[in-house]
Amino acid sequence: MREKQIQINNVISPLGKGKFDRVYLAREAERKYIVALKVIFKEQIEKYRIQHQLRREMEIQISLRHPNILRLYGKSGHLCENQATTYILSLTQALAYCHQKHVIHRDIKLENLLLDHEGQLKIVDFGWSVQSRSKRHTMCGTLDYLAPEMVENKAHDHAVDNWTLGILCYEFLYVVPPFEAESQSDTFRSCLPEYVIRKYVQLLVKDFSKRLSLQKIMEHLWIVKKADTTRICSN
């Protein structure tokens, strides 16, 4: 999910195929200009563990502006606090609803958040979700977003979703996830120490019992003051 994504009007024809991706000729909806649409399947990203490679590619290309270098659209920089808090509030409300239904998503991340044509946030992909009143033991989700209790193979509950809210909050504000590392083992190690995000949003805390509850997130002064509630869906 990105705030400055372009909208594709229609896919015209295939242009090429690589090991991990396919490229199509497409038309942008608003100004009708022609673009190359690069499609990488989530299964390929996970199978070949190219998350970091893909992120580096996007971060490099988005920073380049030259008439002989293809411009990258669909990825913007960090969000302002108003945007970040608005999305966090929307996501918190959605997760609160899921948790009331005893559903733990377990794979909240940027790739599983979309914006509709009105800019409303939508959670997608419940492939790792579980509906249960008891704690679970399956290690699942995406490496950069794993809560410490999962990393340490301990039982977990809905608090793993609260942890990923902290990861996303950091990523919205600073572009990269807080525990990103070159190797899986380095990422695991970096998740283990105590970590508190931005001093006032205590979500990335190793002790899951001390993480902010979803209700307290919605009532938090930073969220209340900064979020644009006119863009939040009502139930």
3-state secondary structure 135-197: CECCCCCCHHHCCHHHHCCCCECCHHHHHHHHHHHHHHHHCCCCCCCCCHHHHHHHHCCCCCE
- 149 annotated binding-site participant: no
Q: Given a cut of 50, is residue 199 above it in pLDDT?
A: no
Q: Given a cut of 70, is residue 201 above it in pLDDT?
A: no
Q: Given a cut of 90, is residue 227 above it in pLDDT?
A: yes
Cα separations (Å) of 49 from 87, 124, 170, 183, 190? 28, 21, 23, 10, 19
pLDDT value of position 230: 82
User: How sure is the predictor about 19, in pLDDT bands with cuts at 50, 70 and 90?
Assistant: confident
**Residue 62 phi, psi dihedral angles, 5° rounding:** -70, -20
Secondary structure element (H or E) that encloses residue 89, with its range = helix 81-100
- 19 annotated binding-site participant: yes
Q: Given a cut of 60, is residue 2 above it in pLDDT?
A: no
pLDDT value of position 3: 41
3-state secondary structure 114-132: EECCCCCEEECCCCCCEEC
Query: Is the separation of the CB atoms in 9 and 29 below 8 Å?
Result: yes
Query: Is the separation of the CB atoms in 229 and 87 below 8 Å?
Result: no
CATH 3.40.50.150 for domain 81-231, yes or no, is no
Q: In terms of pLDDT, which residue wins out, 198 or 177?
A: 177
User: How sure is the predictor about 7, in pLDDT bands with cuts at 50, 70 and 90?
Assistant: low
- 111 annotated binding-site participant: yes
Instruction: Calculate mean pLDDT across residues 213-223.
Output: 93
> Does residue 107 have an active-site annotation?
yes
Strands 121-123 and 113-115: antiparallel
Most confident of the ranges 143-152, 180-189, 196-205: 143-152
Percent of the chain scored above 90 by pLDDT? 33
The C-alpha angle with vertex 175 and arms to 141 and 3, in degrees rounded to 5, equals 90
- 9 annotated binding-site participant: no
Q: Given a cut of 80, is residue 229 above it in pLDDT?
A: yes
Q: In terms of pLDDT, which residue wins out, 41 or 87?
A: 87
Query: Is the separation of the CB atoms in 35 and 26 below 8 Å?
Result: yes
pLDDT value of position 174: 77
pLDDT value of position 95: 96
Cα separations (Å) of 173 from 36, 38, 48, 178? 28, 26, 28, 11
The single residue of 21, 107, 161, 228 carrying the catalytic annotation is: 107
Q: Given a cut of 90, is residue 149 above it in pLDDT?
A: yes
Domain-by-domain residue ranges, the chain? 8-62, 81-231
- Rg from Cα positions in the chain: 19
Q: Given a cut of 50, is residue 97 above it in pLDDT?
A: yes
Query: Whole-angstrom Cα distance, residue 53 to residue 212?
Result: 33
Q: Given a cut of 90, is residue 68 above it in pLDDT?
A: no
Query: Whole-angstrom Cα distance, residue 59 to residue 41?
Result: 19
Instruction: Calculate mean pLDDT across residues 208-222.
Output: 92
